[in-house]
Structure 1
């Protein structure tokens, strides 16, 4: 390879890495959802297992590997978990941008009849987008997912290199990496699975070795997941009803992202450029471009089918990155130089123009939440200056809904309250505050449930609470009951389920006869009785009954049946016979029922 070509590849790689670091660093922050991940990490570090609440086996994070990577770093450093998550995500993003760009440059240089210089191209499109730079940190696994894509693409490029210059065993490394896709994010199994099929189809005699490299790690964890949690997928997929179709909302989500940034223009330019450049490719070099592009487009369709997300652009970032992989860098010609110059101008406009909500304060009290720029929303909602996004769990205590949390929670723990609940303090200008609720008297397995708090924003409550406090949400990320509730029509994607306040107090040791006036006490008592119905008690046992070999086997069977299909009715009376309903309305207290068991002591 000529010296100028090597220098161009090095310079292109450096541009990608520097741009990625600058973009992620200047927009670094911590999201409420990122704090959710850290609650599980805290439990892992404390020896409680991969759970969100002690005594309840719920996989509240979509990315298995992400929580374990943060835990591994935390074991060897005294750094704050928020800092570990931020720096780990940013590092992965920078390495992903640089290595993906380098691999694409190698692809074009090794494919050319003569050595060519390369320039950055697709990576500029991706990193110019504010959501791409926002989710370079945020505490979520997007940096890890980008790194998976980058290594996958680099291995594909090596696999497609002529045999005399390739690493003979690269197919096995590629197979192993494809197996990890399921543990990075479940939807990445699309890329890993299709790649595995291609590997077997092109090297059929090596099928046993390919399967041996790809399957043991994800299969072992899958068996563990099914037996430990009673589910085939992470619990987040149940909460968000990922198997349902919401095409119209998905299209709105796509336009909310692509329309605002005129993204269709640079993406169209990238696709046309890629088609022209790859026109002479044959064999494996053509196959990996088709594989990458096909999987990325299928991924986009999946995002549209499930309705997108409530976070601006987030769910489309990964398929966009995958779609741009073959053109992260391109050979330097007059035409590509001109197109790249136009893209640089577009990128400059987008960086200056920023995102849809930076230009004005977000009045979250007065308008319906649908799709929002999360970084800007939380910055505004917490009363912080523009650009000064939250970085740590305590920053979220400035949220109006968290008023009094850090004062009332210790007192509620000391007094062995059953629940701490949010309410309105009408004596203080209708401000939010948290109130303790007393336990009922008498023996019941519900007395084994620790102090419980429900709130939709699960991260800020969970990371500002000790691990002996049970933190649940109303939409189902950590709450099996809420995850199985029916979806609300026209609800916010990802937040379109709601566990009513009657169900909330029922699954606790709260004294139902001492509830505020706005509760339907009879419904709450019906809900408490419904918890012991066969269907619901079985669901609760999958996460609460102490782990044993018998429980593991029962959970495994459950994951293949009701774990996939169970949906609950929000009316608890449907789970009760008429005689029980009459008894409750005549004053019977279902809190003292003991069979079947629905709560166990928490160690």
Structure 2
């Protein structure tokens, strides 16, 4: 690579970095889902472990490395968690843009090849509003992009023709193998990229198989064993809640059109494919192999997103495979064709940026349109009563939600009364008013009173980050709630939110006095649910996350993770778990679920080092 070539690639990378920073900074924000990550970080820093609620070992975040990266930086800096997450995501996104663009420039600089490159594919990516929105948001998208970018850079280095090799393995190959091993810990679907790359490395250097595996496997294998023993699962809990193994092709194609159709994304992609194909003509060996691996993994990733039905956030799940698909053409050699296409992409990008992605807020407010796929940033901005361009950035900003109108007062009242549960009630339609109220604890001696004050809401982030760590915060769709996660999917439900924990189950899994429930909850059904919690199948599920950790519990969880942990689905009717005698006792007014197999243990919640205190 000549000095001119290196300077050209560096200049292209710098341009990409500036564009990524400006795009992400001007649209910086915090999502409700991002706050979910920060609740786990609070527990890590306080000493309660990598859990969402102290005393319940649930891995509520998809990215393992993201939560630990935020925790480490927050511990070092002492800064607000929301600010740490925002800056980390933005820095990762900028670094990903720079690294991927420079690596693409390097890819095209072969002996006798071009000496100058121009940014191309990165312009397509950054023009899209979701790409700039998820440059922050509190979620792991920036880290995921950085992993993909470094993966590409290492592939390019591995394929460089001037690399010294022995038995077909350049030294950078072992670093690449190690990086591939981390894929599973960044996001589970990135294991596709890491796994295919590992197979390629072994195919090119079969005599180095042992070294490749020794570099790639120890870190992810060690964490996977920890996950199995600590959480009782093979995957993050989010995969169970969202039933990621299910097939929802129709929703997937609807999700694709919602993204690609509105922006006419197929136009610049056709240009990118044509340009990439033309540039690759005559390419051989490892350089061709890595291009095929990159494109093949991206296409397989696209098929995966289609199969699972996409997502409820506009464009989010398409960002990673799109970024990967564009890697070979992030920067391209200067020629008449490339300059013309770059100019066309710049025009398309300008139109896309100005046109943005509108949200029909009035349709949601009037009920004319149900929540499906939404522009999450703009949705939350409007839902919190804020002006467009002023999105939420901190946890307290979410107190403006109509669902949080009296949250702080009700929370304090519930704590003072040593209540069992906080619940949200719909009070008025005009004006639309919701209010939180607390429910009293049962007077009987029961292990259920080991469960702290419990609040349920589908929006898990804004409640949990506006509550102390000794308040148990759960959701109704299963991200942090094992019982909800195992409920059957609602046919035709909103992707990612197509499970629902009935209020009877919610009341049952708390210390609530079931004889003093509000009218909208059937006390007989609630008592059936509480009794069902003690039955062997559900009690075993609860023990995996609640029984105090020991070597016996750890290995029992390992066995559970490869058995029922993979397949268990609960019946939404609690009566299906009960024998006739138990059902008869409930009809007599008894609450047999107050005793039996232990399902709740005493918990000591540490709060001294909670950065939100």
CA separation of 1:360 and 1:369: change in aligned 2, threshold 3 A: closer
SS for the counterpart of 2:262 is coil
Q: How does 1:353-392 map to 2 (within 5 A)?
A: 353-357=355-359, 363-364=364-365, 366=367, 367-392=369-394
**Would you say the 8 A contact 2:546–2:600 is kept in 1?**
yes
How much has 1:428 moved relative to structure 2? 9.3
What is the CA–CA distance in structure 1 between the aligned matches of 2:350 and 2:433, rounded to whole Å?
Answer: 43
How much has 1:169 moved relative to structure 2? 1.3
**Would you say the 8 A contact 1:417–1:436 is kept in 2?**
yes
Quote the residue 2:601 is aligned against: 600
Quote the residue 1:301 is aligned against: 303
SS for the counterpart of 2:380 is helix
Quote the residue 2:274 is aligned against: 272
Structure 2, unmatched stretches of 5+, are 605-613
How much has 1:32 moved relative to structure 2? 0.1
How much has 1:426 moved relative to structure 2? 4.8
Quote the residue 2:560 is aligned against: 558
What is the CA–CA distance in structure 1 between the aligned matches of 2:277 and 2:582, rounded to whole Å?
Answer: 68
How much has 1:113 moved relative to structure 2? 1.9
What is the CA–CA distance in structure 2 between the aligned matches of 1:467 and 1:211, rounded to whole Å?
Answer: 41
CA separation of 1:293 and 1:61: change in aligned 2, threshold 3 A: same
SS for the counterpart of 2:364 is coil
**Is it true that 1:542 corresponds to 2:573 in the alignment?**
no
**Would you say the 8 A contact 1:105–1:329 is kept in 2?**
yes
What is the CA–CA distance in structure 2 between the aligned matches of 1:324 and 1:232, rounded to whole Å?
Answer: 31
**Is it true that 1:517 corresponds to 2:519 in the alignment?**
yes
| TM-score, scaled to structure 1 | 0.98
| TM-score, scaled to structure 2 | 0.96
Q: How does 1:157-556 map to 2 (within 5 A)?
A: 157-164=156-163, 168-357=170-359, 363-364=364-365, 366=367, 367-426=369-428, 431-556=433-558
**Would you say the 8 A contact 1:418–1:450 is kept in 2?**
yes
What is the CA–CA distance in structure 2 between the aligned matches of 1:74 and 1:98, rounded to whole Å?
Answer: 25
Quote the residue 2:107 is aligned against: 107
**Is it true that 1:70 corresponds to 2:36 in the alignment?**
no
Q: Deviation string for 1:330-371 (max 9, x for gaps)? A: 0000011101100000000000000132x7656345231000
SS for the counterpart of 2:490 is coil
CA separation of 1:557 and 1:531: change in aligned 2, threshold 3 A: same
Structure 1, unmatched stretches of 5+, are none
SS for the counterpart of 2:377 is helix
What is the CA–CA distance in structure 1 between the aligned matches of 2:461 and 2:240, rounded to whole Å?
Answer: 19
How much has 1:550 moved relative to structure 2? 0.3
Q: Deviation string for 1:546-572 (max 9, x for gaps)? A: 000000010000000000000001000
**Would you say the 8 A contact 2:399–2:462 is kept in 1?**
yes
SS for the counterpart of 1:259 is helix
**Would you say the 8 A contact 1:48–1:54 is kept in 2?**
yes
Number of aligned residues:
600
What is the CA–CA distance in structure 1 between the aligned matches of 2:482 and 2:147, rounded to whole Å?
Answer: 30
Quote the residue 1:60 is aligned against: 60
SS for the counterpart of 2:445 is coil
Quote the residue 2:8 is aligned against: 8
What is the CA–CA distance in structure 2 between the aligned matches of 1:427 and 1:567, rounded to whole Å?
Answer: 36
Q: Which moved more, 1:402-411 or 1:28-37?
A: 402-411
**Would you say the 8 A contact 1:45–1:75 is kept in 2?**
yes
What is the CA–CA distance in structure 1 between the aligned matches of 2:283 and 2:453, rounded to whole Å?
Answer: 63
What is the CA–CA distance in structure 2 between the aligned matches of 1:428 and 1:300, rounded to whole Å?
Answer: 44
SS for the counterpart of 1:76 is helix
Q: Deviation string for 1:127-168 (max 9, x for gaps)? A: 000000000000000000000001000000000001447894
How much has 1:263 moved relative to structure 2? 0.4
What is the CA–CA distance in structure 1 between the aligned matches of 2:428 and 2:373, rounded to whole Å?
Answer: 31
**Would you say the 8 A contact 2:532–2:593 is kept in 1?**
no
**Is it true that 1:134 corresponds to 2:128 in the alignment?**
no
What is the CA–CA distance in structure 2 between the aligned matches of 1:235 and 1:331, rounded to whole Å?
Answer: 44
What is the CA–CA distance in structure 2 between the aligned matches of 1:542 and 1:6, rounded to whole Å?
Answer: 54
CA separation of 1:573 and 1:360: change in aligned 2, threshold 3 A: closer
**Would you say the 8 A contact 1:362–1:380 is kept in 2?**
no
Q: Deviation string for 1:505-548 (max 9, x for gaps)? A: 00001111111111111101100000001100000000000000
What is the CA–CA distance in structure 2 between the aligned matches of 1:268 and 1:277, rounded to whole Å?
Answer: 14
